[in-house]
Amino acid sequence: MIRFDNVSKRYPGGHDALRNLTLDIDRGELVFVTGHSGAGKSTLLRLIGLIERPTRGQLLIDKRSTRGVKRRGLPAYRRDIGMVFQDHKLLFDRTVFDNVALPLVIAGVGHRETGRRVRAALDQVDLLRKEKQLPETLSSGEQQRVGIARAIVGRPKILIADEPTGNLDPELSLGIMNLFERFQEIGVTLLIASHDVALIGALGHRRITLADGELQSDSNAPIDQEEAFTF
């Protein structure tokens, strides 16, 4: 589903964010990306969202190179990819409902269908009762869930999340991660960047560790479940 083929990314100024990364992620996988800050986690996700382009190598999504996606093609490309950001990136002058509805409005989905799907997404993140509120009146965890609802409302094939639990307490973080696991069950491919090693270990999914822009380890091996639950 997602294939990094010897991808390098060098930012203007000479910083190498990724070096010769080769990686395969299958459809329906849930993959955690970990590593220290500056290891290249965010860059990896931003390449998938085409917020950045590889300096060398190529990225294939669904067996198709992203090189062919020009500026005009970006909107259509991004509608297939749900993105969750650490800083939520919500529109603060619009209600929770309108924020979540945004991808559907953009895609030109009808009024009735939009309402139905937005409420379904809000129900999944357990925010149905707050649909008329403005994001400001919500807690950080709730805002993050609005961001997640917006990312999934368009039924993307791929969902990428950059530090989705960055500033949440452990209980809320676990709740969010469980939510992602439910999306995996319905066939969404997920990439989640996180430095919360303890939480990731407890969940036991495939785990890619980056160090200084290079692939350090790629482990499918789940950590012992009983040990995990002691976190």
Partner 1 sequence: MGNYFARHLQVLIASLGKLRVAPVASLLTILVVAITLSLPAALHVVIKNALLVSGGWQGAVDFSLYLQPDIDEGGAANLAKLLESRADILQVTLINADAALEEFAASSGFGDALDALSENPLPHTLVVRPIASLNAEASALLKQELSSLPETDIVQLDTEWVSRFQAILKLVRRAVWLAAGMLAIALLVVIGNTIRLDIQNRRDEIEIMQLVGASDGFIRRPFLYTGFWYGLGGGVLALAVIALATQMLRGPVAELASLYGGGWTLRGLDMREMGIVVTTGIALGLFGSWFATARHMRRIDPK
Name the β-bridge partners of 214: 211
Q: Where are the beta strands (DSSP E) in 85-213?
A: 158-162, 189-193, 206-211
Mapped onto helix, strand or coil, the DSSP state of residue 191 is strand
Q: Are 97 and 122 in contact (CB under 8 A)?
A: yes
Structure tokens at 78: 């991004």
CB 132, min distance to partner 1, A: 17
User: Any contact of residue 11 with partner 1 (CB under 8 A)?
Assistant: no
- The answer to the question of residue 110 lying near partner 1 (CB under 8 A) is yes
- State which residue, 118 or 202, has the beta carbon closest to partner 1: 118
Q: Name which of residues 61 to 90 contact partner 1 (CB under 8 A).
A: 74-79, 83, 89-90
Measured from the CB atom, is 91 or 198 closer to partner 1?
A: 91
Place of tokens 């080769």: 22
Residue 38 binds partner 1, judged by CB under 8 A: no
Whether the Cβ atoms of residue 89 and residue 147 lie closer than 8 Å to each other: yes
49 binds partner 1 (CB under 8 A): yes
Determine if 117 is a binding residue for partner 1 (CB under 8 A). Answer: no
**How far apart, in Å, are the Cα atoms of 104 and each of 19, 74, 94, 152?**
36, 16, 15, 11
Any contact of residue 103 with partner 1 (CB under 8 A)?
Answer: yes
Total of chain residues touching partner 1, rule CB under 8 A: 22
Binding site for partner 1 (CB under 8 A): 49, 51, 74-79, 83, 89-91, 102-103, 105-108, 110-111, 150, 154
